[in-house]
Chains A and B, each alone.
Chain A
Amino acid sequence: MAKTAVIIGCIDGALPASDRAATALAVTRFGDDVVLCSPRGEETALRYALGAGANDVIPIDECNALVYLVGRGGAGVNGNLMVAQLATARKATLVLDVLDVEACIDGVRVWRDLGRGAREELTVTGPAVLMVADDAPQQMYVSRFRQITAAPPPVEVAPNQPISWEPVRLRPKTADLMSRTTGAARDRMFDAYGLNDGGAERDKHIIAADAEICAEHLVRYLAHHGFVDRHFAVADAPVDRSGNRQALAVIANVDQILPDSANVRSPRPIQGPTRGLQRRPRPYRPAADRLGKLLRGPRPLGHAHSPRIRGPFPVARKKD
């Protein structure tokens, strides 16, 4: 059984960017154990994948890989339905809009695009079908020479039958439920299990601020509800590609939560120097200092609060 299979194909004779990215991800992230499945057997796709370093071309029916990386051209006219069928047939986790992937101890770690710049990091254990996003970064370039010198074997293609397994019955989309979530896999899973308490309603409590402040609010929220330890070490968190260590740290901590802990909503015991602080207006600190303050943990006893800055500023009267 091959470890990784890449499923690519052409659209209007050209290999779409997502198919190139899927191939590049397969080769660069999973090394030399990559096979190609080209549903329609286009020569361009075959040459590209073999030139990139795929070992073999095998029919999709016979392919039984741990990770399937699928490009838009590979999915073909059936689009997401094809990957859904593939995931069902292989009892695999389906992830759409994949930007990057890497092997990890548990399985594969996947970064997917949530739109509008948002990213989600998932860890998938077991088989995975990963549909690569159109704008996934190209991890490698396959030169013309490598494409030309790749010798693709003839591929038999059954006309109009790119996939031969039984199509699954589609379930109605729970639009009402889904519309209230952020679209992230965890939210959707919590929705499915009724753990989300209605999910995050849109257009309410939107924090419009820069990343640092958003991250700070997010951390406060999570800490308030006991999801994360307030004193977690941001510096130890993995760095995401946008460099937003703090946001990623939050995600990393959320990932460690067991489903049981999701219901732990009891307020923190009021004690010590932070007592009552949560309900007060936040003391103003210069932006550059905020993250540092956040990382320092609880304020020491006898901490002097800076004067509130919200509300009208005092007008300094001129002395005659």
Chain B
Amino acid sequence: MPMDEPVSREIMGNVPMWLAVAFYMAALVACGWALLALMRRIRQHRLGRRVAHSESSSWSGSVVAVLRYLTFHRQLLRDRFAGVAHMLLFYGFFVLFIGTCLVFLEHDTPLHFFYGRFYLVASLVIDLGGLAFLAGLSMFLYRRLFGNSQRILRRAYVAALLWLLLAIGLTGFVLEGARIAVDRPDFERWSVAGYAIGLGLNVIGIEGDAALRLHRFSWTVHAILCVAFFGLVPWRFFSHMVYGAVSWALRTRRPRSMLRPVDLQAQALAKQAPGASTWSQLSWIDLLQADACTTCGRCNEVCPAHAAGKPLHPRDVVLGIREAMDLSETHDLQSLIHADVLWSCTTCGACNEACPVGIEVYDKIVELRRGTVEAGVVPTAASVCFESSAEEFNPFRKPNADRMSWAAGLNVPVAEEGMPIELLYWVGCAGSFDPDGRSVSRSMVKILNQLGVSYRVLGTRERCTGDPVRRMGEEGLFQELARANIVTLNNHSVRKVLTHCPHCFNSFRNEYPQLDNVSFEVEHHTQFLARMLAEGKLQVGNSLDQKVTFHDPCYLGRGNGETQAPRRVLSSLPQLTHVEMPRHGRESFCCGAGGGSMWLDIRGEDRVENIRAREAADTGARTIVTGCPFCKGMLAAGSESLDGAEIDVRDLAELVVEAEGL
């Protein structure tokens, strides 16, 4: 026997055999029940549609990503308070779990190691872990009880589960303190919290048999609570402990604004319509992500539709799917997620960006929209947009023959049929038909002509890229338009596409390659202008003397990660003061036009564009600069709502034209 063996404790001492057996039996039943529930859930996940394997990275990469995620909590620490609380809770729980495993190994296996210095260090670490666990829980409970955060899910079961964890932690310390209070050995000072509680119990007169009785009682309560916890692991937001890490590991590596590919041909052969109207029509990863939801509400906090008081609460969409999974396989999702909720989404992707477990909320919304489109129940504005896109190849209900009317009075070279094109300037529907977009197109043409670049436009052969109809759920029409555009571009052997519309940019860059092999490069006009300025081909001499702020279009900044090019252009313009809005770059706030919201109008208490215009005005800037014709139009409308503040909305190209003196 080693010399320092007395420095240990009797495990399960003071616990009668029948109670220990009952605990083990109950724990086994609870774990078995939880395991069965998890397996049943996994079977449900497997009922979902299959998605392409390229969706996720390799297994080793995923494991490393999860370990880094859990270790550093970087995604969670975006919200400092919640991040720190979760970190304490997680690390505390982890240490307590390891400590429990050590106790189990010592007691129920032939291994013998829980004594001496190891015991002392383990006692200290486990106690500190327990304190961290209680501290994290207390922070969450404090925020729930006394905080005024709108994003907290105020449902009884969430609070009940938090209180359960707190009770487990507290009874753990009480039973440890009672055990120590019996004889208070000196080496137990390493159990800092337990020793202090034991001391306290002695002070109030609980010692000897009373301490033993208290120990047995608190052990019993602790055991019952732990058994309940084991059984509740697969239930509601507790399940994020299992699925959260898996969801993070399998999170998409696609650009934020890129939707999953849809193989319509395969679906037609399988007689399976695109979209989902029941939970089993969603992809397996959507179902798994629904179970991974922590109900933290960060998605609600950043959602522009939610901020404008529209009926959309992204968290409720995810929870709606989770609730539906508890119902029958054919249960209509629309009974849980109302159509207005779906049509409020601007597909800005802020929810996806904010989610701490990598849930792709807006992909689910688009999938559900596809379901409503296939069911034929769409808002009139959406069906008008679809029909216009199908018949006139633009969603603005304008005759396609007028597509070049924006270029009146300008020298714009239109490509002849089949002519090879080195640089194609893709004007887009907004650039062709929308007054706000037309001025951008005209500015770009002036810049291109000034540079002497060889470029062409397609004129009336150009069609909508299909971005709005895809976001509104009309996948078939999107693919029809996209394939027609790909044929046109291939016929012209286009080498590079230049566009001032981030939606067209996203379609060409990310979504057209899903359909066919495309050989052209794509460049957004902010990137093009930054490049021209950097290469010295573009000379800007006129003083602008303005204070401006840049609004990052969602499909450029968050969607495709391009936040620096427009800022480089702004910094090149003489005497221009650039100030940032609080929400900028990848955390930018939507203008309210995306996802077909340019045409749809789900009413809220406020308007998204008004909120953004107010935010811009608060910076003191007199001009909002953006890089998207849709954003320009929306923010111009929003700026009209400002009281007293006159604020101008311009595209980056228009500023460059002014600085060039064209």
What is A's interface to B at a CB cutoff of 8 Å?
A: 14, 20, 24, 52, 137-138, 140-149
Contacts and interface: CB of A to CB of B under 8 A. Distances in A.
5 contacts: A138-B383, A141-B373, A141-B377, A145-B476, A147-B476
A146 B474 contact: no
Nearest to B375: A140
A144 B466 CA distance: 13
B380 A138 contact: yes
Contacts of A137: 380
A145 B268 contact: yes
Contact of A141 (B264, B376, B391): B376
A144 B271 CA distance: 14
Contact of B475 (A24, A141, A142, A145): A145
Contact of A140 (B268, B271, B377): B377
B382 interface: yes
Given A138-B383, A141-B383, A143-B373, A148 B476 contact: yes
Interface residues of B, number: 24
A146 B480 contact: no
Contacts of B377: 140-141
From A14, A140, A141, A142, name the one whose CB has the most chain B CB atoms within 10 angstroms: A141
A99 to B, nearest CB: 14
A143 B387 CA distance: 10
Contacts of A141: 373, 376-378, 382-383, 386
Contact of B374 (A20, A24, A138, A145): A145
A148 B267 CA distance: 12
A145 B264 contact: yes
A180 B480 CA distance: 52
B240 to A, nearest CB: 35
A293 B599 CA distance: 42
Contacts of A144: 390, 474-477, 479-480
Contacts of B274: 145
B376 A143 contact: yes
A259 B476 CA distance: 54
A145 B383 contact: no
Interface in B369-399: 373-374, 376-378, 380, 382-383, 386-387, 390-391
Contacts, number: 49
Contacts of A14: 391
Contacts of B264: 145, 148
A142 B376 CA distance: 6
A317 B480 CA distance: 78
B273 interface: yes
A147 B380 CA distance: 19
Given A138-B380, A141-B383, A141-B386, A146 B268 contact: no
A148 B271 CA distance: 12
Contact of A145 (B273, B378, B380, B387): B273
A148 B265 CA distance: 10
A52 B376 CA distance: 8
A24 B387 CA distance: 14
B154 to A, nearest CB: 37
Given A141-B378, A142-B376, A146-B273, 15 more contacts: A20-B387, A138-B383, A140-B377, A141-B373, A143-B376, A143-B474, A144-B474, A144-B475, A144-B477, A145-B264, A145-B273, A145-B274, A148-B264, A148-B476, A149-B271
Which of A14, A142, A144, A148 gathers the greatest number of chain B CB atoms within 10 Å? A144
A20 B274 CA distance: 22
A246 to B, nearest CB: 26
Contacts of B380: 137-138
A204 B69 CA distance: 81
Contact of A143 (B268, B374, B391): B374
Contacts of B390: 144
A48 to B, nearest CB: 11
Interface of B: 264, 267-268, 271, 273-274, 373-374, 376-378, 380, 382-383, 386-387, 390-391, 474-477, 479-480
Contacts of A52: 376
Contacts of B378: 141
B560 to A, nearest CB: 27
A137 B477 CA distance: 22
A52 B264 CA distance: 18
A141 B374 CA distance: 8
Contacts of B382: 141
Nearest to B268: A149
Contacts of B477: 143-144
B387 to A, nearest CB: 8
A52 B377 CA distance: 11
Nearest to A53: B376
A55 B376 CA distance: 16
A140 B271 CA distance: 21
Nearest to A149: B268
Nearest to A24: B376
A52 B383 CA distance: 14
Contacts of A20: 387
A137 B373 CA distance: 17
A105 to B, nearest CB: 27
A45 B386 CA distance: 17
Contacts of A24: 376
Contacts of A145: 264, 267-268, 273-274, 374, 475-476
A144 B479 CA distance: 10
Given A137-B380, A138-B380, A148 B373 contact: no
A144 B482 CA distance: 13
B343 to A, nearest CB: 13
A148 B376 contact: no
Contacts of A143: 273, 373-374, 376, 474, 476-477
Contacts of B386: 141
B599 to A, nearest CB: 14
A140 B376 contact: yes
B329 to A, nearest CB: 22
Contacts of A138: 380, 383
Question: Which 3 pairs show the lowest CB-CB distances between chains A and B?
Answer: A144-B476, A140-B376, A145-B476
B268 A148 contact: yes
Nearest to A13: B391
A277 B274 CA distance: 67
A146 B374 contact: yes
A142 B386 CA distance: 10
Nearest to A20: B387
Interface centre among B273, B373, B374, B383 (most CB of A within 10 A): B383
A149 B264 CA distance: 10
A22 to B, nearest CB: 15
B130 to A, nearest CB: 57
A188 B274 CA distance: 50
B371 to A, nearest CB: 10
A106 B406 CA distance: 56
A14 B391 CA distance: 8
B315 to A, nearest CB: 29
Contacts of B267: 145
A149 B479 CA distance: 14
B272 to A, nearest CB: 10
A148 B477 CA distance: 10
A147 B264 CA distance: 13
A199 B380 CA distance: 39
A33 B409 CA distance: 57
Contacts of B476: 143-148
Nearest to B479: A144
A14 B376 CA distance: 19
B264 to A, nearest CB: 6
A140 B375 CA distance: 8
Nearest to B378: A141
Contacts of B387: 20
Contacts of A147: 476
Contacts of A142: 376
B79 to A, nearest CB: 40
Nearest to B274: A145
A144 B382 CA distance: 14
A210 B65 CA distance: 68
